[in-house]
Amino acid sequence: MDFENITVNLFVPCCMDLYLPEGTRNVISLLEKMGDRCYYNTELTCCGRQFMMRGEREITTDLAYRMMMSFDNGRPIVVPSTACVAYVKKYFEEILSASAVRTALYHITHEIYELCDYIVNVKNRESLGNTFSHKVFFFSSCSARNIYQTTEEAEKLLRNTKGLELITDPDMKVCCTANSDLAMRNGELSEYMLKRIVDRIEETGAEYITSTDVHCLQYIDAYIQSQSQVNLDVIPIFEILNSTE
């Protein structure tokens, strides 16, 4: 790879690689429209977050080290899912404290960005000229609010999308259970929490639910698909930002 011509690294997490394999093309297309050229390692798909939650320390460390060294090239790292970025920022220094190359560790924990954060705060773009003529509810995930602590980057981009009617609910802080092991330990409680989220969103008249967290969208979509009476669709935010309909 000729890194002299690369402007940004792209990391596609495993939840997206499995759930939305075609989504990578949308993200690359979006970045290229802003003048970026991506380095995308197709063999690197897991940051180790799920293994850490299960207590698999050895594989967690191996995956973290591999990810860190894959991006030791001084370019920003963009990730189209908040939970993975939040995990890297919060836990990589602890996980890799005994084995890390300090410059590489600093780079991956300080130069990694969720996609919307990168667009607004690094590329200084709040409007992309995209069009999506639908009512869209923006779901702010626990990882985005509490760990990554994004502000309104995603909402700014959605508000500046032609034809889009943005619906938000700042008081809705219910966890969808995607980024924990609650769904595996207590399926009934997980389904109840998903129902609360979907019912409340449906009441707003939204046609679509979007988020900066692909894993959350995956869980919400699985619940919607099991409920024939729910008339909502799930769409990743990068598909909206790359839309020209």
Residue 200 banded pLDDT, cuts 50, 70, 90: very high
pLDDT digits over 15-73, tens only? 787 677 788 999 999 999 999 999 988 888 788 888 887 788 899 999 999 999 888 67
Q: What is the CATH number of domain 135-241?
A: 3.40.50.1860
Whole-number Å distance between alpha carbons of 122 and 106: 18
Q: Name the one residue in this structure whose structure tokens are 């370019």.
A: 75
Q: What is the pLDDT of residues 97-119, one digit of tens each?
A: 887 678 888 899 999 999 999 99
Report the chain's C-alpha Rg in angstroms. Answer: 18
Are the C-beta atoms of 128 and 240 separated by less than 8 Å? no
Say if strands 77-79 and 112-114 run parallel, antiparallel, or are unpaired: parallel
| Residue written as token pair 């969103």 | 201
The upper half-sphere exposure of residue 221, i.e. CA atoms within 13 Å in the direction of its Cβ, equals 16
pLDDT class of 153 with cuts at 50, 70, 90: very high
Residue 242: closest CA among 2, 28, 17, 13: 28
Q: Is the pLDDT of residue 224 over 80?
A: yes
| Residue 211, phi-psi category: left (phi > 0), alpha (psi -120 to 50), beta (remainder) | beta
The pLDDT of residue 126: 95
- Per-residue CA distances from 60 to 44, 45, 86 (Å): 14, 13, 15
Token look-up 């390692």 returns 41
- Low-confidence winner among 44-58, 82-96, 170-184, 194-208 (lowest mean pLDDT): 170-184
For residues 85 and 113, the answer to whether their CB atoms sit within 8 Å is: yes
210 beta partners: 138
